[in-house]
């Protein structure tokens, strides 16, 4: 299926969504484009789309086996996967196990400080406002999500974080923090919340357990070099690195 013949439904910074082959489905296309600090820094990470497509498909499938409902349906090709169409809830859910990034900055906590328990933060998904940190009170007051949806997202976020922390630990990676997006899926059985978007080194912080080497998008955000290698390393440890990665990454 060529890209041109399909209707573009949405184009984001790192992904594009096209109309899917069946009603209620979308084709999620992973690009090599990377942005940071709300589009102020732009670049490409060669082969990232191929690798994130693999990593996200793999992790969403594992989560599905753990009875976490996700939008993922099936892989399509190197850069694309079929997903369920959902109405994205405009709230980014961040779970933190170790202080880093904006938490470290905001509260002056040294990066790498373990947190006594997983910390959940809500951010309003709004580029113009630079995705501000918000309280559940704001989410309810402005109707971005209902109370039962917030409870569900909170519960899923903790369960997913718990499962993924163990999965990454087994491959010598510490899950420092991670961002989730959820969506509403409407079917004959009513409305259900699904994990949507992607799970990848773009949307999490992953540190090598022994060396604390960063294996995630902070290598791009902070100009640390060896960006492609870090993404490949995560895919390799997960056992999902595409075989002829170099040839296919440019496809």
Q: Which residues bind ligand TMP (CB under 6 A)?
A: 94, 100-103, 131, 177-179, 203-205
b (16+ CB within 10 A) / e for 137-168: eebeeeebbeeebbebbeebbeebbebbbebb
* CB-nearer residue toward ligand ASP: 82 or 176: 176
Minimum CB separation of residue 243 from ligand ASP in Å reads 29
For residue 39, state whether it binds ligand ASP (rule: CB under 6 A): yes
Query: Partners of 177 in the beta sheet?
Result: 96, 205
Comparing every residue's Cβ against ligand ASP, the nearest one is 35
Residue 189 CB, nearest approach to ligand ASP (Å): 33
The listed partner (ligand TMP, ligand ASP, none) that binds 37, CB under 5 to 8 Å by sort, is: ligand ASP
Given ligand TMP, ligand ASP, none, residue 36, with its beta carbon under 5 to 8 Å by kind, binds: ligand ASP
Reported residue count of the chain is 251
Contact pick of 6, 13, 159, 184 for ligand ASP (by CB under 6 A): 13
- The first and second tokens of residue 119, run together, are 């910390």
Distance in angstroms (rounded) separating the CA atoms of residues 189 and 171: 38
Q: How far is the CB of 127 from ligand ASP (least distance, A)?
A: 7
CB of 202 to ligand TMP, least distance (A): 6
Looking at residues 17 to 36 of the shown chain, list those that interact with ligand ASP (rule: CB under 6 A).
35-36
Cα torsion 154, 158, 160, 165: sign: positive
In eight-state DSSP terms, residue 54 is H
**Residue 37 in contact with ligand ASP, rule: CB under 6 A:** yes
Give the angle subtended at the CA of 131 by the CAs of 60 and 94, to the nearest 5°. Answer: 40
- Contact window for ligand ASP (CB under 6 A) among 37-45, 50-58, 69-77, 191-199: 37-45
Find which of ligand TMP, ligand ASP, none residue 94 binds, CB within 5 to 8 Å per kind: ligand TMP
Q: Per rule CB under 6 A, is residue 128 in the interface with ligand ASP?
A: no
Q: Cα separations (Å) of 213 from 1, 22, 105, 202, 209?
A: 39, 42, 20, 16, 8
Q: Does 133 bind ligand ASP (CB under 6 A)?
A: no
Q: Dihedral through CA 40, CA 41, CA 46, CA 48, nearest 10?
A: -60
Q: 25 or 171, CB closer to ligand TMP?
A: 171
Which residues partner with 81 through β-bridges?
28, 75
Query: Min. distance of Cβ 215 from ligand TMP in angstroms?
Result: 12
Measured CA to CA in angstroms, residue 58 lies from 52, 61, 65 at distances of 10, 5, 11
Binding site for ligand ASP (CB under 6 A): 13, 35-39, 217, 221
């Amino acid at each position: 299926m060529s890209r041109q013949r399909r209707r573009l439904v949405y184009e984001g910074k790192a992904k594009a969504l096209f109309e899917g082959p069946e009603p209620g489905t979308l084709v999620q296309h992973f690009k090599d484009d990377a942005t940071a600090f709300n589009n102020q820094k732009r670049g490409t990470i060669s082969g990232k789309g191929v690798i994130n497509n693999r990593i996200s498909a793999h992790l969403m499938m594992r989560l599905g086996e753990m009875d976490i409902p996700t939008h993922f349906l099936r892989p399509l090709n190197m850069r694309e996967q079929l997903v369920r169409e959902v109405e994205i809830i405009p709230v980014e859910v961040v779970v933190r196990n170790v202080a880093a990034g904006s938490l470290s900055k905001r509260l002056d906590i040294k990066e790498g400080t373990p947190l006594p328990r997983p910390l959940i933060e809500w951010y309003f998904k709004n580029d113009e406002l630079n995705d501000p940190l918000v309280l559940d009170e704001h989410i309810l007051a402005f109707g971005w999500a209902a109370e039962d949806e917030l409870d569900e997202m909170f519960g899923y976020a903790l369960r997913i974080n718990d499962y993924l922390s163990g999965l990454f630990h087994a491959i010598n990676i510490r899950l420092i923090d991670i961002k989730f997006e959820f969506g509403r899926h409407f079917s004959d059985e009513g409305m259900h919340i699904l994990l949507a978007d992607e799970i990848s080194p773009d949307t999490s912080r992953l540190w090598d357990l022994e060396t604390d080497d960063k294996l995630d998008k902070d290598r791009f955000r902070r100009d640390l070099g060896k960006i492609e290698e870090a993404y490949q390393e995560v895919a390799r440890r997960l056992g999902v690195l595409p075989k002829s990665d170099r040839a296919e990454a440019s496809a």
